[in-house]
Structure 1
Amino acid sequence: MRRLQRVLAGCRYFSLQLWAIALVLPMMQPAWGNELQSIKQTQRGFSTSAVDLLAQQQGNVAVTEVTGVKVNSTSTGIEVILQTSKAEALQVLNKSDANSFIAEIPNAQLRLPLGDSFQQEKPFAGIAELIVTNQDANSIRITVKGEGSIPKVELFNSDEGLIFGLTPTTTTSQQPQRQPETPTNETQPQTPTPQADQPIELVVTGDQDGYRVPDASTATRTDTPLRDIPASIQVVPRQVLQDQKAVRLQDALQNVSGVTQAGNYGGTGAARYIIRGFSQDGNFRNGFRDADFFTLSEIANLERVEVLKGPASVLFGEAEPGGIINLVTKQPLSEPYYAADFTAGSYGFYRPTFDISGPLNADKTLLYRLNVAYQNSGSFRDFVDTERIFIAPSLTWKIGTNTTLNLDFEYLNNNTQFDRGIVAIGNRPAPIPISRFLGVPGENDSKTTAYRAGYRLEHQFSKNWQLRNALSITINKVNDFRAEQGDLIDDRFLDRNFTNGKFETDNYSLQTEVIGKFATGSIIHQPLLGIELNRSEGPLIFSRGILSPIDIFSSVNNSVIPTNPLTTFVNRQIRTDRLGIYLQDQITLLDNLKLLVGGRFDFTEQKNDNLLASTSTSQSDQAFSPRVGLVYQPIPAISLYASYSSSFVPNIGTSVNGSTFDPAQGTQYEVGVKADLSNRLSATLAAYQITKTNVLTTDPNNPDFSILTGEQRSRGVELDIAGEILTGWKIIASYAYTDAQITKDNQYAVGNLLDSVAKNTVSLWTTYEIQRGSLQGLGFGLGLYYVGDRQGDLDNSFVLPSYFRTDAALYYKRNNWKFALNIKNLFDEKYYETSQGRDIIYPGAPLTVLGTISWEF
């Protein structure tokens, strides 16, 4: 507790410093008021019938809140999207005035985080100005001024919201042409031409149903369109997880190029993930370091999963150079929302969940959300079952018009049988049934309890300057009993010991950031200044006893645990303190030329107390991590980018003379192209080279010590596509070629491939839903996943063979109900997901069927 008090005291000191900086900066910088606001909304809306609209016209009126205005570039102009948290039937009254297009929307009000109006000058050549503002207390006015004549306007009813498609015209004689709105049924009339002074009936919805996410915060810590970021960022939204019926984090990550699994801690679901060839030790949650490899994540309250490819130390501190995984959780909604589902399937699996949200008071300044999940299942693995309980409440308090406080909490309890999988014989996994359990039946118990809590305070000083202060706490407790698998005797009998592992990781992080906008002449800057404090500490205790060998080819497992007390061989208390100071600037040089520069100073200190030997060691490191990238957009739909970035990870250990080592360094060069293939479909193609230096290798003269001579390199090409090809036809697909190998080493042969990295991986998930007619709401899904051969260890002594897996789905939606059938591994392919060496290989599940009934309102 005293340690925590010291950490929080230091955090308060740095927070006060940045509060002072935030108060001074706006006074020092010129104001810039014509910025593009991109406000992300992922809330759910629902259709409203013509009867509701008629009631509205007769006076039964409710004012619709427009919570976001988004401007996207298209190949011919721009599209302006009005976003709401809940759909209402809207009337759009259009008229013209000189060279301006004007739309008035009654019974609606802007409720934007940065004010009640939106303005942008020259959003596109031929368009002089865009203004969205509250005309009075009950209506919104949209004004688009053309430079020479009235812009051509198209109106669309989309999953993203109410869309105004705007194309500049060159002469006043040109008349705007209207493409009909996509009908929701066969009898719906087409929308009239916008120039007519008459109402247009449209429905505003959210974009939760989409596979394409146009912007994300992980790469820059700001809501920036992905097309403006010189890096590869892939997002798996909630809708993909629902359609695939994902219950593990690895199910979500199979949709992202260049990401594979590296181990699975005893089948518990805690795992490392390999990105571009390099294994990560733990993920991030809402931008915070979320403990380590042993920390389990639940997906029930995830809004999306964001993967930033390449070194990320510039904003996140120490991390392997392949990239990071950031889990973004659901937030409270301003309108009532209720959802529940129940899934049951193969191997005694059943999982109910529910998600409820809404306001707690009449003025909607206090919002809540609650996600709950329970899971109970057996497994295709003998003697293995799992029970899980998950509860995640969150609260948003709008303290004032410029200040918001978010609070969140998670509780996770997971009980399962610890399962190390099977072993290798020769250069392949042993030819035994993938169901065979090599532990001690009924005694390989693993219990994980995780608590997460935090807050996020945001204050808007002005239109251009904002301060964020946030705290994250993760406490992860693990207690397991397991049979540790060793060497094979005569390629038949497995040497084992029985181990008890007890460890706890208490992880505290505090961040304070100032974000601003200002202009120097025609150049626009969006700076980010931040400071982060982190402490991670906890005990690590292992005890073991001798366990009799087991015949891996026998179907009889009569193993018993040792009767003698287990002997403790590891008892350590480990503490790591981190301090990071970072600065970033997103610079708009021209409308189609954007520069990103940044750097971070990190200071780390680790203390390791060996309680068995009564010794203590400590190590301090510091590093600077720069990043620079450039984006050029020859046409609005295409972004060409190039970037350089770096990373660091402390090397823990000592040389023969007792000195510590410099951190391992990662550097990446990347080029790529991002394309908006349509308003709903985008693609990213990237090529990169990553070099990791200062890799610890064995000292050839003193094998008990290490030296810094190792080097590893990864080169590759990646393609990711996500979005909607046609109305109702969605897709998320990827391809990755990864050549990751050892280039310098004293222990492993130069040229050996890095373990668990396939040279070629392909994924495809696509769904189609019938849009009209008697079968409206019927949908189909197909998933294809190919993973090439992977080396099982750095010695390259055995191979996990390639596999091609097929998934399928069938669902039917009616009103607020959905019935779904998901089939995973349709053709019962035998495959292996990952390994942690010759003695730990995890098979993949055979044919699995899941049925789900969902209700949402």
Structure 2
Amino acid sequence: MLLPAVAFAEENEDPAIIVTGVADRQLLLDAPTDTGSRLGLTARETPAIVDILSERQIREFGARTNVEALNRAPGVTSSLPATSPGVPTMRGFTGGSVGLLYDGVRVATPGIFSRASDSWLYERIEILKGPASVLYGEGALAGAINLIPKSPRLGRTSLAALASYGSFDTVRLAGDVNLPLGDRAAVRGVGSFGRTSGFVDDTDSELLAASVGLLLTPADRLTIHVAADYNEDDYDTADYGTPLIPAAVARNPSNAATGPGGLVIDRALRDTNFNVADGVLDSQTLWLRSRLTYELSDQLTLSNHLSRFHSDRRFINAEIFSYNSGTGLIDRTTGIITHDIDYLVERPSISGDVEIGGLRNRFAIGAEFSNLEFATRRYFSTTTSVDPFAPVRGTFPGGSGAPLPPINSTAQVKVSSVFAENALNLTPEWLLAGGARYDWIDFSRRIAPATQIDRDYGALSWRVGTVYDVLPKVQLFAQYSRAIVPVGNFLLLSLANARFDLTTGESVEAGLKSSFWNDRIDLTLAAYHIAQDNIVTRDPNDPTLSVQGGRQSSRGVELSLSAAVTSRLRVDANWTWLDAEFDELVEAGGISRAGNTPPRIPQTVANLFAFYSFDSIPLTLSAGLRHAGGFYTDNANSIRAKGHTTIDAAIGYRFAFGELTLRGRNLTDAFYVDYSDVSTTQFQVGAPRSVEISLQTRF
């Protein structure tokens, strides 16, 4: 965990975020957020929970990547599987039900797009809880996560740099320069490089990122922002996880994960790599972004967002590992997967802040057009089996197993949308907000040599909510919303699933947002219920047939607190309890899974952080505790990962030119596992105890 930012760090903080000066607590409830609406509402005014992880908080929590940052947010869990790093769970749903945004622009099919990236790149991360299809289209049933990169600022020169070294030969270097170009322009360059040898054998990896942005104000009412962001990752022989093995075979059995027949995770395999020795996992991604804002008058603003995304990725590995009780070996499958992704998004809109009959009314109307093109090559086979305790990993493909026929496919998803939002102050204390969005989706996929899938969809999403000021800084809110989710990933949608309609979701949420004790405490509390209808199930009268008609739901409570206990001590805490289940799901053989918990969903998630700055010496201390509850990996709930708790701590000394920090993670050396995304009986083992020393400077 990093420490509270020192005073000179305020030069680079988001000017929209207020700092109280009491234990350096930020008033994030009063920060405007574009993620919760396009109306300029603050987090307090939005009739939903919008969690903000500011640049300062990300540093304080010690989050080196977007994945680590999300794991500090209320109610969010985000793992680091090799196939889809950073795909989160939230409010009882995961995968295609959690929307992903980059600088406010929706990213289609997050499971394909998601990658781990250095948190240094981001000004803040905003998380909108609950259905967000009304803002961002299909696939945002549980909420949306907005990664907001650093952008240029007018009128000031600033420089920041970071260098760190830690366990597992981990190096991190980063820089950030903002330069004004006269009174009406500024340019900003941000870059980072990180490498690690990893705690698992032969799992070296590198992350490289660079961003250049230009801000222009050629006229008083016109603002133009253009940027180019490049990200590259290279995991070489990536860790694809550790398989369950019989307890009788394990040399140091644990209950971190268990399965039927006495299967366990063996501590002795914590640092064992089962991938082939020449595995490849890498990607190169380029985002080109532009945003134009023109104030037509004091009340009306025209804006346009235009973005283009391109990414090339390769996965050439042994991926799925399973224990063979007959041979006592680990059997391995292999695969070649390539992705060629091109995505274009155009979003014009007009917004206003006007009076209607003496009442304040904020509105936004607009359209969105996107074109997603995807090409993939997929080839699967098997390779040699290996001794679990002395694997001779070999090279790709290395085996004699009969390969499956290669799958070469292309897909195109065209989406045209119109949307409208409105927030009307019925009184100065009572806000009524609502919105609607209609999507026309044109989907096509070709699977070589002769399979062609074409399908059109149309769907309406909407929400209505209200916020009432009980006191100036005590708000009650409630919201009802409807959302849409496809039955599977559009880019890999099968011919069988393409015949199904979009699933629908609805949510009811109510809660409280409050600041009190002279703004020394922020508190949010929310209770919710989300249901998804028409998921794919089996016909109860003929289990050989797949039909729509299943249902899954979740209900939960989220509590978040930030408190300046004294002028030197701050405590941040959050706690989430949820109950997620399949209300109706029949699988092959007519087996009902009703009442079971969907995979990857923990019942509880909690974080507790404390930060203390001494008065007489420039020394700061911090400590943090994170708890993630247990989860299942299969619909039958027969394979379970146990919950875990980790503790971090840090000590830092401030100099005139920066801050030197010594940081420890997982100080109790807890042994735990996380989701792997490739097999129900295969898990990512959590990192052991580690230390790191870093120097951060700002001018």
Q: TM-score, normalised by structure 2?
A: 0.89
**Higher normalized contact order (CA 8 Å, seq sep 6+, divided by chain length):** 2
Query: Who is 1:485 aligned against?
Result: 320
TM-aligned CA deviation for residue 44 of structure 1: 11
Structure 1 residues 666 and 277, CA gap change in structure 2 (3 angstroms): same
| 1:511 and 2:347 correspond | yes
TM-aligned CA deviation for residue 562 of structure 1: 2.9
Query: Who is 1:697 aligned against?
Result: 537
Please tell me whether the aligned partners of residues 45 and 86 of structure 1 are also in contact (alpha carbons under 8 angstroms): no
Query: Who is 2:421 aligned against?
Result: 584
Structure 1 residues 237 and 384, CA gap change in structure 2 (3 angstroms): same
Aligned equivalent of 1:673, options 497, 512, 533: 512
Query: Who is 1:63 aligned against?
Result: none
Please tell me whether the aligned partners of residues 279 and 320 of structure 1 are also in contact (alpha carbons under 8 angstroms): no
- Output aligned runs, 1:53-202, within 5 Å: 160=18
| 1:599 and 2:436 correspond | yes
Please tell me whether the aligned partners of residues 239 and 275 of structure 2 are also in contact (alpha carbons under 8 angstroms): no
Hey, what's the Cα distance between the residues in 2 that align with 1:567 and 1:680? 62
TM-aligned CA deviation for residue 262 of structure 1: 5.7
| 1:804 and 2:645 correspond | yes
Please tell me whether the aligned partners of residues 67 and 116 of structure 2 are also in contact (alpha carbons under 8 angstroms): no
Deviating more after overlay: 304-313 vs 222-231: 222-231
Q: What SS is found at the alignment partner of 1:225?
A: coil
Q: What SS is found at the alignment partner of 2:69?
A: helix
Hey, what's the Cα distance between the residues in 2 that align with 1:721 and 1:633? 19
TM-aligned CA deviation for residue 614 of structure 1: 1.6
Query: Who is 1:626 aligned against?
Result: 462
Query: Who is 1:324 aligned against?
Result: 144
| 1:250 and 2:67 correspond | yes
Hey, what's the Cα distance between the residues in 1 that align with 2:341 and 2:85? 14
| 1:465 and 2:288 correspond | no
Please tell me whether the aligned partners of residues 612 and 622 of structure 2 are also in contact (alpha carbons under 8 angstroms): yes
TM-aligned CA deviation for residue 607 of structure 1: 0.4
Hey, what's the Cα distance between the residues in 2 that align with 1:704 and 1:507? 37
Please tell me whether the aligned partners of residues 466 and 477 of structure 2 are also in contact (alpha carbons under 8 angstroms): yes
Structure 1 residues 308 and 655, CA gap change in structure 2 (3 angstroms): same
Q: Which amino acid aligns with 1:277?
A: G
Aligned equivalent of 1:759, options 599, 603, 606: 603
Structure 1 residues 712 and 85, CA gap change in structure 2 (3 angstroms): closer
Query: Who is 1:219 aligned against?
Result: 36
Q: What SS is found at the alignment partner of 1:314?
A: helix
TM-aligned CA deviation for residue 624 of structure 1: 0.7
Unaligned runs of 5+ residues in structure 1 are: 1-42, 48-82, 88-111, 114-158, 164-180, 185-206
Please tell me whether the aligned partners of residues 382 and 435 of structure 1 are also in contact (alpha carbons under 8 angstroms): no
Please tell me whether the aligned partners of residues 712 and 740 of structure 1 are also in contact (alpha carbons under 8 angstroms): yes
| 1:548 and 2:367 correspond | no
TM-aligned CA deviation for residue 757 of structure 1: 1.3
TM-aligned CA deviation for residue 545 of structure 1: 3.2
Structure 1 residues 290 and 256, CA gap change in structure 2 (3 angstroms): same
Q: What SS is found at the alignment partner of 2:131?
A: coil
Hey, what's the Cα distance between the residues in 1 that align with 2:393 and 2:446? 39
| 1:354 and 2:175 correspond | yes
Q: Which amino acid aligns with 2:68?
A: D
Structure 1 residues 647 and 715, CA gap change in structure 2 (3 angstroms): same
Query: Who is 2:211 aligned against?
Result: 392
Q: Deviations over 1:375-406 (max 9, x none)?
A: 11111111101022211111101121000000
Please tell me whether the aligned partners of residues 574 and 607 of structure 1 are also in contact (alpha carbons under 8 angstroms): yes
Please tell me whether the aligned partners of residues 212 and 724 of structure 1 are also in contact (alpha carbons under 8 angstroms): no
Query: Who is 1:749 aligned against?
Result: 593
Q: Deviations over 1:403-432 (max 9, x none)?
A: 000011111111112321012343464224
Structure 1 residues 440 and 789, CA gap change in structure 2 (3 angstroms): closer
Q: Which amino acid aligns with 1:294?
A: I
Please tell me whether the aligned partners of residues 209 and 230 of structure 2 are also in contact (alpha carbons under 8 angstroms): yes
Structure 1 residues 472 and 249, CA gap change in structure 2 (3 angstroms): same
| 1:502 and 2:343 correspond | no
Structure 1 residues 278 and 346, CA gap change in structure 2 (3 angstroms): same
Hey, what's the Cα distance between the residues in 1 that align with 2:86 and 2:555? 24
Hey, what's the Cα distance between the residues in 2 that align with 1:290 and 1:433? 40
Deviating more after overlay: 212-221 vs 746-755: 212-221
TM-aligned CA deviation for residue 791 of structure 1: 1.1
Hey, what's the Cα distance between the residues in 2 that align with 1:556 and 1:85? 49
TM-aligned CA deviation for residue 221 of structure 1: 2.1
Q: TM-score, normalised by structure 1?
A: 0.73
Structure 1 residues 506 and 840, CA gap change in structure 2 (3 angstroms): farther
Query: Who is 1:825 aligned against?
Result: 666
| 1:401 and 2:401 correspond | no
Hey, what's the Cα distance between the residues in 2 that align with 1:659 and 1:448? 29
Give the superposed CA RMSD.
2.7
| 1:733 and 2:569 correspond | no
Please tell me whether the aligned partners of residues 459 and 468 of structure 1 are also in contact (alpha carbons under 8 angstroms): yes
- Output aligned runs, 1:355-374, within 5 Å: 355-361=176-182, 364-374=183-193
TM-aligned CA deviation for residue 472 of structure 1: 1.5
TM-aligned CA deviation for residue 769 of structure 1: 1.3
TM-aligned CA deviation for residue 709 of structure 1: 1.6
Hey, what's the Cα distance between the residues in 2 that align with 1:464 and 1:856? 38
- Identity of aligned pairs, percent? 24
Hey, what's the Cα distance between the residues in 2 that align with 1:325 and 1:720? 17
Q: Which amino acid aligns with 1:602?
A: D
TM-aligned CA deviation for residue 261 of structure 1: 2.6
Q: Deviations over 1:511-566 (max 9, x none)?
A: 111110221223211011011111111111112333012232x1343434335897
TM-aligned CA deviation for residue 301 of structure 1: 1.4
Structure 1 residues 846 and 495, CA gap change in structure 2 (3 angstroms): same
Please tell me whether the aligned partners of residues 305 and 325 of structure 1 are also in contact (alpha carbons under 8 angstroms): yes
Query: Who is 1:411 aligned against?
Result: 230
Unaligned runs of 5+ residues in structure 2 are: 246-258
Q: Which amino acid aligns with 1:585?
A: N
Structure 1 residues 357 and 568, CA gap change in structure 2 (3 angstroms): farther
Hey, what's the Cα distance between the residues in 1 that align with 2:94 and 2:18? 36
Q: Deviations over 1:682-724 (max 9, x none)?
A: 1110000001001012456777752102100101001012364
Query: Who is 1:75 aligned against?
Result: none
Q: Which amino acid aligns with 1:342?
A: A
Q: Deviations over 1:721-743 (max 9, x none)?
A: 23644334333321000100100
Q: Which amino acid aligns with 2:130?
A: G
Deviating more after overlay: 450-459 vs 835-844: 835-844
Q: Which has the larger radius of gyration?
A: 1
Q: What SS is found at the alignment partner of 1:508?
A: strand
Deviating more after overlay: 367-376 vs 284-293: 284-293
Query: Who is 2:133 aligned against?
Result: 313
- How many positions carry a matched residue from both structures? 659
Aligned equivalent of 1:768, options 612, 616, 632: 612
Query: Who is 2:629 aligned against?
Result: 788
Q: Which amino acid aligns with 1:615?
A: T
Please tell me whether the aligned partners of residues 466 and 479 of structure 2 are also in contact (alpha carbons under 8 angstroms): yes
Aligned equivalent of 1:687, options 510, 527, 537: 527
Q: What SS is found at the alignment partner of 2:59?
A: helix
Aligned equivalent of 2:268, options 421, 428, 433: 433
Query: Who is 1:614 aligned against?
Result: 450
TM-aligned CA deviation for residue 223 of structure 1: 2.9
Please tell me whether the aligned partners of residues 371 and 413 of structure 2 are also in contact (alpha carbons under 8 angstroms): yes
Structure 1 residues 545 and 659, CA gap change in structure 2 (3 angstroms): closer
Please tell me whether the aligned partners of residues 494 and 549 of structure 1 are also in contact (alpha carbons under 8 angstroms): yes
Q: What SS is found at the alignment partner of 1:250?
A: helix
Q: Which amino acid aligns with 1:762?
A: A
Hey, what's the Cα distance between the residues in 2 that align with 1:639 and 1:738? 23
